[in-house]
Amino acid sequence: MTGAADQKTDQTKNATVRKTLISWFRENGRDLPWRRTRDPWRILVSEVMLQQIQVARAIPFYERFTERFPTVDALATAPLAEAIRAWGDLGRYRRVVNLHRTARIVVEEHEGRIPADPEVLVTLPGIGPYTAGAVACFAFERDVPFFDTNMHRVLHRVYFGPEVPEPAAKRKELLALAAGLVPVGDGWAWNQAVMEFGALHCTARRPRCEECPVSGHCSAHPGMPGALAAAPRAPKREPADRYEDSNRYLRGRVLAQLREARAADGLELRDIQSRLRRDETEVGLPRLRGAVRSLEDDGLACTVPARDSDDSSPGRAVAEERAAYDARPPGGAGGEGLAGIRVTLP
């Protein structure tokens, strides 16, 4: 009888937690542009942009990008260079390369329709289990389980207790729990609710436990504040190098110069160096050479010898017709004469 009683108790808790969090979300959830649509393309763009990017920062980029590319076909038929320009300085630039590749695959292999099946979605470039589940749920309203960091934290605290100093549950256990919690016919609201609750209320360092709507059913209550206070702090690190001195920053500045140049034949490396200097970014040619190589490796730039950089160049013609994601055009960043090359968007 004890097992049956425990099962009934769990079902009661699950039902209460679902109802409470969905109700909380309907009263407190943010009005975000991707929550006003079920368009699979716009949902996909939002999920790609939002990974490790704050919501407030992502919104204007999302709106500009979807205005420029309102459909998957619009992106698939555009040169990658245009996609990079529309992406702007959001960062995480490899994502736009993968999104461009995904758009072309969807048009060529899926008749221009974003797949609804998470198992198919994960086969597309740059789409992992979380993004696949989010698109299936938020665009197609499929009752599928998935979770991000916020959802992981909420479910762990409610069902297993504080996640500090060490998690009490393994990821596999939480995945199984998440799968059993998705309410039939209401997966969209449930997944949005758990995600939003973790982002706004049950936060990592300062959860609002004193006004938590599920505190009576939370395994971390009332000990969560104490657990956080007692959790060992990470040792202080030596002062890190300035972000402005990082390769990520330099890559972003190089891409910004290429976007702003607009010329189809790009810029010579020394011109990029001069432009960066005017922006008070001093960088030597060897370091700039390395940044360009890394952009080329990621499919974000192409290089050709300056003397061969007109539009009739075979390497340039290929890049214009279809982005060379995995291969460098002739005259790529392989030799020592890189200072004499011209850099273009793909």
Rounded Cα gap, residues 45 and 96, in angstroms: 9
Selected catalytic residue, list 47, 163, 196, 296:
47
CB 178 within 8 A of CB 172: no
Is residue 320 annotated as a catalytic residue, yes or no?
Answer: no
CB 331 within 8 A of CB 305: yes
State CA 53 to chain mean position distance: 7
Rounded Cα gap, residues 87 and 81, in angstroms: 10
Residue written as token pair 């190589």: 293
* Angle CA 262–267–272, to nearest 5: 110
* Angle CA 198–200–203, to nearest 5: 55
Rounded Cα gap, residues 269 and 29, in angstroms: 48
Alpha helices in the chain (DSSP H): 2-28, 40-50, 55-68, 72-76, 80-87, 94-109, 118-121, 129-140, 149-160, 171-181, 187-200, 224-230, 247-261, 269-278, 285-297, 314-321
Residue written as token pair 């505190």: 215
Which SS3 state, helix, strand or coil, does residue 7 take? Answer: helix
State CA 78 to chain mean position distance: 21
Catalytically active residues, by annotation = 47
